[in-house]
Copies of this chain bind each other. A is one copy, B any other.
Amino acid sequence: MLARILPRLRGAAPLLGPGDDAAMIAAPGGAFVITVDTLVENQDFRLHWPSGFESSGFDVGWKSAAQNLSDINAMGAYATAAVISLTLPHSTPVRWVEELAEGFSAAVRELGALDCSIAGGDLGRGSEVSITAAVTGALPTGKPILRSGAKPSDIVAVNGVLGVAAAGLALLDSTLPAADWTEAEAGIVQGQRRPKPPLHAGPEAARAGATAMMDLSDGLLKDGQRMATASGANVCIERGALLNDIERLEPISNALGCDPLPWVLAGGEDHGLLATFPAEADLPPGFRPVGVVQALEPGESNPKVYFDGLAQGASIGYDHFEG
């Protein structure tokens, strides 16, 4: 099995690996960042969708790479290595696993993680498909951008799409047959299957003086709430800044008979960046303002995310262990 998979896992060359007990990775600056994420069949992805769509191994591999690379990007870092652990049922076709390896490698390459080696892994049996990747990164500015650094009067900015992955999920989960999707609909589903974190934007934001930054993985409001809580300041989002995001999804919401706004505000898995910059900063390419950071009101003790001046509740966005 490994002999079929390893040639399909391609990236930059590590200092050593895979093949020994551990791989060896360069850490310029004498430090590195590290993240880990798991995708489990029927929890984080489906192989067969109500719409009749079939997810390929390529899609799952791409998504595993993208979500981990996005976490590294959100620190202001660039990826240096990935190690992958795969759990596979006996019934999984070898070709599906080969495609998974190809999808992981394609994401690393096409998203521009050119310094990321695929340095090692582990392969085991289980009753459901599960893929865990740990990805490491290097910090070009020497220091990470945390979610806790947002200051009152900072600009709140976003890089990347909002709500596309959620709208794509709605299409996959719908009874609108995949075979009948328009080109626009198929494009939105593609955004769910193969998210495109803007990988160079994280280090660029760090160089441009971003005060706080995080990955948009669980929706603008929920992730904004996390930034507000970590920073001790309110994160205030303006609807007027999201009109293009809403408009982009209207053909989908019209076809499904629903409101596109919840996708834009609370949809997860887009893997763009939420960042704050000093008011006087020039936003780096790809970032657009969506609001401002404000100090807590007198008497206000819990930092909140506001949408058009209204404080948002706790039950927004996606959380595995909610409820």
Contact = CB atoms under 8 A, between A and B. Distances in A.
A25 B81 CA distance: 14
Contacts of A6: none
A35 B22 contact: yes
Contacts of A37: 85, 122
Given A21-B214, A40-B87, A130-B126, A34 B81 contact: yes
Nearest to A129: B126
B31 A23 contact: no
Contact of A124 (B23, B34, B40): B40
Interface string A12-54: 0001100111111111111111111110111110000000000
Interface residues on A, range: 35 or more
A199 to B, nearest CB: 13
Contacts of A81: 34
Given A34-B134, A132-B38, A123 B85 contact: no
Interface in A78-101: 81, 83-85, 87
Interface string A57-83: 000000000000011101101000101
Number of copies: 2
A127 interface: yes
B40 A126 contact: yes
Contact of A31 (B1, B27, B33): B27
Contacts of A87: 38, 40, 130
Contact of A20 (B27, B70, B214): B214
Interface in A109-134: 119-128, 130, 132, 134
A163 B215 CA distance: 47
Given A20-B146, A27-B30, 17 more contacts: A1-B321, A16-B144, A16-B146, A20-B144, A20-B148, A22-B34, A25-B31, A27-B32, A34-B136, A36-B121, A36-B132, A36-B134, A37-B85, A38-B85, A38-B122, A40-B125, A43-B126
27 contacts: A15-B31, A20-B146, A21-B70, A21-B74, A21-B75, A22-B144, A24-B139, A25-B31, A25-B32, A34-B120, A34-B134, A34-B136, A36-B120, A36-B121, A36-B132, A36-B134, A37-B122, A38-B87, A40-B126, A41-B126, A42-B127, A43-B125, A122-B132, A124-B320, A125-B320, A128-B128, A134-B134
The 5 closest A-B pairs by CB, nearest first: A27-B27, A134-B134, A22-B35, A21-B74, A22-B33
Interface of A: 1-2, 15-16, 19-38, 40-44, 70-72, 74-75, 77, 81, 83-85, 87, 119-128, 130, 132, 134, 136-137, 139, 144, 146-148, 214-215, 230, 320-321
